[in-house]
Amino acid sequence: MDQIEQLGAMAQQLGCAYSFHEPMSRHTTFRIGGPADLFVSAGSRECLSQMARRANELEVPYLVIGNGSNMLVSDSGIRGMVIALTGEFNEITLPQPQQVRCGAGAPLSALCTFALEHSLSGAEFLWGIPGTAGGAAFMNAGAYGGEMKDVLFSCEHMTHDGEFGVLTGEALELSYRHSAYSYNQSAILFLNLQLCAGDQEEIRAKMNDLIGRRRSKQPLEMPSAGSVFKRPPDHFAGTLIEQCGLKGQSVGGAAVSSKHAGFIVNQGDATCEDVLRLISVIQSTVFKQTGVELECEIRKIGQ
């Protein structure tokens, strides 16, 4: 048995769902990405730490992902093991009247719905972001004037070696699309959020308003990974791209959205290579015409 097969056997012993050569196009909102050698769904801290420790012993790299809504995975896929969080990592509870403990694998829509049901305000800005709570903490996701930094006060995690720990407050290093988890290789397991008491109808109205704004401005009907570029200081990436005449520009199956120039959409058969080439066309054109350097917000994964 090679290392990947040994890890698969371990996943089976632990009762985790797993598959070999799993196409990552099934796990990214771009619908792009070649196969991961091994894809495992871990439903408990015990399973997760055992899989991580065994992967380290076997020197197999592993990566924890959320909903794949901010990732561009290479056409040759991911060597090693990809882990998605499920089971206990989907649970959302209320340990204190206005404090929510949210599993990192829970979709942001579930977190927002939970907050609404408990008349808790502060998380409305997350409504419509198609990621998990863990992915949102990792990225310090934000929209419409809110960001995770405003509500997230601690994260429970597992280090790459399989040890459990917590980061609180400033140690989370939350800044624009960045957190300590962007580089420390730990898996985020639970988020602790401080919300405040609100009026349920006002919360609902705010969520409806925000989703309406998204639907009118973003190409939600097509596969994408949201905004491709970070907001450059004093500019909006989408506006610069549009001003440079790049709306609708395409490479292979990837195109700059004609609805929102900050998005690249998969027209059906786009490859990672198409998207990378289009990104490079956009960056060089915008730099030549405006002098502004666009930095990618989406995470490039794989070779």
Ligand X SMILES: Cc1cc2nc3c(=O)[nH]c(=O)nc-3n(C[C@H](O)[C@H](O)[C@H](O)COP(=O)(O)OP(=O)(O)OC[C@H]3O[C@@H](n4cnc5c(N)ncnc54)[C@H](O)[C@@H]3O)c2cc1C
In the structure encoding, which two tokens stand for residue 226, read together?
A: 């949201």
Q: Which of 226, 238, 262, 302 binds ligand X (CB under 6 A)?
A: 226
Residues 51-90 contacting ligand X, CB under 6 A: 63-71, 85
Q: Measured from the CB atom, is 173 or 287 closer to ligand X? A: 173
In the structure encoding, which two tokens stand for residue 80, read together?
A: 């090693």
Cα–Cα distance for residue pair 288/285, rounded to 1 Å: 5
**Residue labelled with tokens 């992915």:** 135
Would you call 236 helix, strand, or coil by DSSP?
coil
> In the chain, helix, strand, coil percent, each to 5?
35, 30, 35
175 tagged catalytic: no
177 tagged catalytic: yes
CB of 289 to ligand X, least distance (A): 26
In the structure encoding, which two tokens stand for residue 166, read together?
A: 């917590």
In the structure encoding, which two tokens stand for residue 155, read together?
A: 């994260």
Cα–Cα distance for residue pair 248/251, rounded to 1 Å: 10
Q: Which of 241, 221, 238, 227 is nearest to 282 (CA)?
A: 241
**How far lies 205's CA from each of 121, 124, 130, 150, 189, in Å?**
12, 10, 19, 20, 31
User: Does the protein bind ligand X through residue 43 (CB under 6 A)?
Assistant: no
The one catalytic residue in 177, 179, 224, 257 is: 177
What is the torsion angle, in degrees rounded to the nearest 10, for the CA atoms of residue 170, residue 175, residue 179 and residue 180?
-50
User: Does the protein bind ligand X through residue 141 (CB under 6 A)?
Assistant: yes
Q: Measured from the CB atom, is 231 or 247 closer to ligand X? A: 231
Q: Measured from the CB atom, is 87 or 287 closer to ligand X? A: 87
The contact pattern for ligand X, residues 193-222, with x = CB under 6 A and - = no contact, is -------------------------x-x--
Residue 209 DSSP code: H
CB of 227 to ligand X, least distance (A): 6
CB of 170 to ligand X, least distance (A): 19
Q: Which backbone phi and psi does 264 adopt, to 5 degrees?
A: -105, 130
**# chain residues binding ligand X, by CB under 6 A:** 33
**How far lies 269's CA from each of 165, 252, 255, 262, 281, in Å?**
42, 8, 11, 20, 19
CB of 59 to ligand X, least distance (A): 19
The one catalytic residue in 74, 121, 154, 227 is: 227
User: Does the protein bind ligand X through residue 225 (CB under 6 A)?
Assistant: yes
| Contact stretch for ligand X (CB under 6 A) within 51-59, 123-131, 193-201, 205-213 | 123-131
Q: Measured from the CB atom, is 9 or 166 closer to ligand X? A: 166
Alpha carbon 179 to its chain's center: 13
Q: Measured from the CB atom, is 104 or 245 closer to ligand X? A: 104
Q: Measured from the CB atom, is 18 or 181 closer to ligand X? A: 181
CB of 160 to ligand X, least distance (A): 10
Query: What is the set of active-site residues?
Result: 177, 227, 297
The residues of the shown chain that bind ligand X, judged by CB under 6 A, are 29, 63-71, 85, 104, 129-132, 134-136, 138-139, 141-143, 181, 187-188, 218, 220, 224-226, 299
